[in-house]
Amino acid sequence: MCGVESEYDVIVIGAGAAGENAADRVVKGGLSAALIESDLVGGACSYWACEPSKALLRPGTALHAAQRVPGSREAVTGTLDVPAVLKHRDDAVSNWDDESQVEWVDGAGITLVRGRARLTGAKRLTVDDANGNHFDLVARHAVVLATGSRPSTPKVPGLQHTPHWTTADATSAREVPESLVILGAGVAGSELAQAFARLGSRVTVLARGSLLSAFPEDARELVAGALRADGVEIIEGVSPELIESTDDGGVRVALPDGRTLEAARLLVATGRRPALDGLGLPAFGIEPTALRVDDTGLVLGNSWLYAVGDCSGRAMLTHQGKYQARITGDAIVARTKGELEKRPARWSRYARTADELAVPRVVFTDPELAMVGLSEEEAWEHGIRVRVVDLPISVAGAWQLAEDYEGWARFLVDEDRRTLVGACFAGQDVAELLQSATIAVVGEVPLERLWHAIPPFPTVSEIWLRFLEAYGL
């Protein structure tokens, strides 16, 4: 490929958010880096996941927020303008054009290589470009896998022969279907259910277990109630027995209880798996199903292969992947300079400790769910004597947001150290509460010191004062 050098200090496979950050950190550390990408630079988050899904959700959230406040409620008389919402989504993804992202890569001093890469030896790769050309690259120090994830499709009879949407199809849809069945009730399924319901679809969600089962029951019930208020039918504890196409181009879903659902579209949102196929990993004794990495992101069993983001098998979240990439990039630089020879200390700049203890997660439904740190069960598994403090978000700041504000919060306290190890919030705009909770968890701030962090009045942050009072301070 003309203009591409064959040797770099570090080669990063995958130019999504995690890959961009990994390459940027090693370049800032004085190393050269090549970034290999076969699709749009910026990755799934920028074009088919985080950005477009939030762009589809936000107009409905803003409209409902206005309708909850006297005065603005009377002024808002219309419904969502669907073409305007879809254009807003198109603008959010730059109309699926990565020119600005490519300019950033170039400005950061990173070499962009277009094509698909596979490992052919230790620190050696072959890249196939879209024109059928093949060329070899060599990494002097490290190769970083940042290949993201792929949809995980359940084994349901008939599904593989029935046309259906993935989440990427849903977030890039050019029109709103009259009816939609969503298979999967996790974060993506819940968010897209509400987005399409508020855009005019008749939506049914099928959950093998419970809606948003990774969150506490009180929190997820608030979201379930809101979805039902938007007209979404939620059927929990079911797995389809058969999925097939209808004569009019729609889909038919047969349930175990004998019910049959028909819809214009089927969305399969049953999770994702690391995208590791085709990279040549079996030749290195690595199964392309999951990776095991240490705190620096180094794949166990070798000294040069690293992984960041979804493909590393840890928390599949864009912000977490960027966090991992920054730490891994710094660790690679430190090792090339001889500054990192032993296992890094927890919470140091070279250890991805937050992957285990402080992962922030947000569900951008209306109401929102926001959680960080350990759950009650996880805390006990870690040997922590934990105390749980649950309370409604019933403060003056909440009443300013909505006349009928409903919210809920949970705080988990390590009783021996008297520090926060986890928190969960449910309610309108609670995502903005999460960073303060994350700081408290990561900083291991003693509750006696946290007592002096005064929440301004009137804001939803007053829930922190109510928590400390309920705890007994």
The count of C-alpha atoms lying within 13 angstroms of the C-alpha of 215, restricted to the half-sphere facing its C-beta, is: 29
CA distance 176 to 265: 10
209 is in an annotated binding site: no
**Sequence letter at residue 458:** P
Residue whose token pair is 């490992």: 119
Q: State how far the alpha carbon of 164 is from the alpha carbons of 203, 265, 378, in Å.
A: 15, 7, 36
75 has binding-site annotation: no
469 is in an annotated binding site: no
**Annotated binding-site residue? 54:** yes
Is 271 annotated in a binding site? The answer is yes
Tokens of 3: 């203009």
The length of the chain is 473
Q: Got the DSSP string for 403-449?
A: TT---EEEEEEETTTTEEEEEEEEETTGGGGHHHHHHHHHTT-BHHH
Is residue 245 part of an annotated ligand binding site? no
In angstroms, how far apart are the furthest CA atoms of the chain? 68
Q: Which long-range contacts (CB under 8 A, 24 or more apart) does 315-320 make?
A: 315/355, 315/359, 315/361, 316/149, 316/272, 317/359, 317/360, 317/361, 318/17, 318/18, 318/45, 318/49, 318/50, 319/360, 320/354, 320/355, 320/359, 320/360
What is the rounded distance in angstroms from the CA atom of residue 47 to the CA atom of residue 92?
Answer: 8
Residue 33 burial (10 A CB sphere; 0-12, 13-18, 19+): buried
Q: Is the peptide bond before 216 cis (omega within 30 degrees of 0)?
A: no
3-state secondary structure of 108: coil
Q: Is 310 annotated as a binding residue?
A: yes
Q: The tokens of 473 are what?
A: 């301070």
Q: Phi and psi for 53 in degrees, rounded to 5?
A: -65, -40
41, 98 Cβ separation under 8 angstroms: yes
Residue 72 among known ligand-binding residues:
no
- Check if the beta carbon of residue 210 is closer than 8 Å to that of residue 190: no
Q: Tell me the C-alpha distance between 82 and 225, whole Å.
A: 24
184: annotated binding-site residue?
A: yes
Is 317 annotated to bind a ligand? Reply is: yes
Q: Please tell me whether 185 is known to bind a ligand.
A: yes
Question: Residue 371 annotated as binding?
Answer: no
The binding site comprises 54, 147-149, 184-191, 271, 310, 316-319
* Residues in binding site for NAD(+): 184-191, 271
Q: Summarize the annotated binding site for FAD as residue ranges.
A: 54, 147-149, 310, 316-319
